[in-house]
Each structure stands twice: as C-alpha cells, then as structure tokens.
Structure 1
Amino acid sequence: MNNDQISLHRQELEEFGYTVIADVFTETAIREMIAVIDSADHSGPLFRKTSDLFAIRRFLQVVPGMAPLVFSPAVEQIVRELFGIRHVPVKSIYFDKPGESNWFVAWHQDLTISVNQKLHVEGYGPWTVKPDQYAVQPPVDILQSIYTLRIHLDDTDEQNGALKVLPGSHAKGVYRADGIDLNQTPEVSCRVKKGGVMIMRPLLMHASGRSSNGHNRRVIHIEFSDRSLTGGLEWAEQSSLFPVTEA
C-alpha cells in the first residue's frame, strides 16, 4: 500500500469501524492455504463440522503450517501501518460456510476474548467455559485495542453470507442489538473478493445472512491486540503464534 491508501484505510477504520483491502493475497497463495487446511487432521476437539458450518478454533495453533502463509509481507505492512507495531495475534478462527448453509448470525458485537484459564479478575466477566476454551468479556478498553483481520478465500457477497455492518457503531461502546434502528443507521454489506481482507473493530455491530448461491464462504479470522491482560490472565493463543515483526 502507498501512503494515500494507508491514509484512506486509517480514516475508514476510525470513522466507520471497518475497511476492505483488495488483492492482499495472490490466487497461488489462496490455493496453498486451502491445501494446508484440507490436509489437516480434522478430528480434534477444536474442529467443529455440521451441515451448516465448518470451523477451526485456535486455527494457527492446530494448523501450524498456516502461519508462514498468513503472515506475508503484505499482512505485516497492514498490521504495522494500520494497527500499530506492538499489535500481535491473540485469537484465530477458520470458518467455512457451505454454499447451501442455512446458518445465519444475528446482529451482535464481538465482546469476548480467549484466555488461558478462568480466574476471578475485577472487570472480567461473564465467562464462557468449553473444552479447551475459556472466553470472557474483558474491560471495554481491551476490546477497543483489538483489530480483526478477515482473510477471504472466496469471493463473498450478499448471496453467500457476507458480513453486514452498521458503519460507525463501534464508537458507541457496548450496547444491545435490540436497540438498533436501521432507519437511523442503514446496514452495509461488505463484499470482499477472493484474496482480499476486511478489517473491523470488535465493537462494530455486524451480522450475516444465509447462503443462497451455492458458493462457499471461507474466511480466516485473526484478532490482534497490543494490550497485556491483568490478574494473571493471558491471551490463549499469543505465546504460540508468530509475532508480526517491525520493519
């Protein structure tokens, strides 16, 4: 990206809470990623497969061959220029929404982080505890430190579950979805071409619809933060991920 492009994406992230960057990965790079995912052992507890969704939690941990493919020079530039030189990956998920999926996600904000254990720490809660997974809502300043990078392995539009967002809603803090007035803040569908990325803030109100065109929607979702947690809590994935290096 040149300086003008960097300035534009920074402005969109500040004002709207999201931005889309095209052609971050080549067709060859996308094929390599898909091949690594397809060759992984899908039998572990962090793999979830139904007729409507295939998901891999702690994606970069359980599919370690992905890290060198994902953390390309282009991604390192995006993180360094748009997030900050101290931001590192703290959570990763892979989603594959099949072409005939009836799965949809209602309006919500991303309010939880993944941590290493459950501890009673002031300002953290409520908790969700599942096998090999501890999730908790942290103080709002932690959520505000996070940038989510979504790498699209397929062309994505309204027919195969592209995210719908409410621009600017990230600036309202934590609030309930039942307070949304779409007449006041019309939704926007975030179309992203294969090889492009969408960047969003977790407090951005977003949703996704059912698929209707028979095309998959495969996305690698990686969250970055520059914050340390308190009270003995640590990010669940940070220690085992490749950090983004400074130029």
Structure 2
Amino acid sequence: MTDPSVAEPRRWKDKPPPDRAWKGKPGLSRTERTVEQDRAAGGRDRRYVGLGEGRQALASVELKLLPNTRRIRAYLRWSDKGKTGAAYLGEVTETTRARNLVIAWRLAFEQERLIIPEPAEDSWASTPASRKVMKANRSRDTKPELALRSAIHALGLRYRVDTPPVEGLRRRADVVFPKVKVAVFSDGCYWHGCVEHYRPARRNDKFWNEKIEKNRIRDRDTDSKLEAAGWLVIRVWEHEDPVEAASRIEVVVRNR
C-alpha cells in the first residue's frame, strides 16, 4: 500500500514555488545555518557521509529551484580535501524550506548515503546495542508510524502529520485531526518506556534510565497541556497492531 502521507509531486504550473519553500533566510550566520541543518536531519550525528578508508565528512542539504520546470531539487553536499562532493537526492514538494529539508534528509537516509559515526570508547553509546538503538531512532516517519498512518487512511480518515496541535505549544503530534481536536502519538517502546518491552541498559544504566524517565515526564506533561486546551490524546505503542489501533482511533474521531 502506498504511504498516504507522501503526496504525488506537486507542480507549480501557473507560477514558481514560493521563496519560502526553498530559499534560506537572508543574513543567517554560519551557526544558524548549522542549527537549521542539524534540526532537519534529526541531530548532528545524522549528517555524516563516508569517504572510505574510515574517513567521514559533515554534509548539508542544498535546495535548488529549476526555473524552467518550477521544481525544487535537493542535493547532499560535503567537502573532501578542498573538493566539493554532491549527490542528487530527489525532488521535494512542500511549501516551506524547513519541511523540504526534513524530507531531503529522510531521502538521504533511505538511499543509504549517510553513516552514523562511531563514538569514542568512553561514549555513553559505546556498546553495539546502544549504537543500534541510536541508529534506529528517528524523530518521525518510523515504520510503526507509517503503518499506523496507512491503516488510518484506509478507513477513510484524513489528517495532518507531524504538526503542533496547539499553536504556540512546542509539542508535535504524529497524527492530528484538527476539526475534532484529536492528537495521536506513535510511541516507540524503548524511548517512551513501555512497561511491557522497555529493558534498562546494562551499561550506563543511570544515564539511560534518567533519559527514558524524562521522556515519560514530557509525555505526561504534553497530555496534560493538550487536554487542558480541549484536545483528546491517543497514544499508540510501537508493539500494537496498527489496524486495531486505527480502528480505535476511528471510533473516537467519528464520535467527537
């Protein structure tokens, strides 16, 4: 089944795409540009390309407008011994630069153009198990989330993806039904501390336990804030059957 959240390429037939869809803000400092790229990629450690022989380079995404076709193309760029390397990632079709950068970085990961640098020996992610968890961690569009969205879409429901339910509240829900004020979160069993499947790390357990507990506290705080604003919050665990979860969501949405 095709992922319903991925629209067919949008073509600006009558006029070029708006500048906000691809141009960076003028006057941004180097630090601000770096922060923009880090945020879109999901962290600095997600921005590296392998150069062979154990070498690596920090990459950035560049968005370019093709005036004649009115399409926005995304490129991955990096520097290697004074020379610029580049790889074409694909077209992006969102109306904001921020979203197009996120999608471009996702394309880079899906095309396996990026690597996760090996941490230092004393790093808190120094074990193979920890590195595996970190590599699998994604801020959005995880496999459980995509499966859930597809199941919801198959029931005839339409929604927004990865958006703040309440304006001004810096919390994003994975699936949002604005008209009926229902916010759905797809929670990973490890990162959100599922009581059935979360297993504390054997090494650096204090660090990991504190991190997971902070996530739990943030989840409860998010639920509280949204409920105070009149929203109904639904949380779906990674281990749940997406079809069953979608049916549960459908009942709530259609009866709100």
**Is TM more than 0.5 here?**
no
Q: Which has the higher contact order (CA 8 A, sep 6+)?
A: 1
> Which structure: greater helix fraction?
2
Q: TM-score, normalised by structure 2?
A: 0.28
Normalised TM-score (structure 1): 0.28
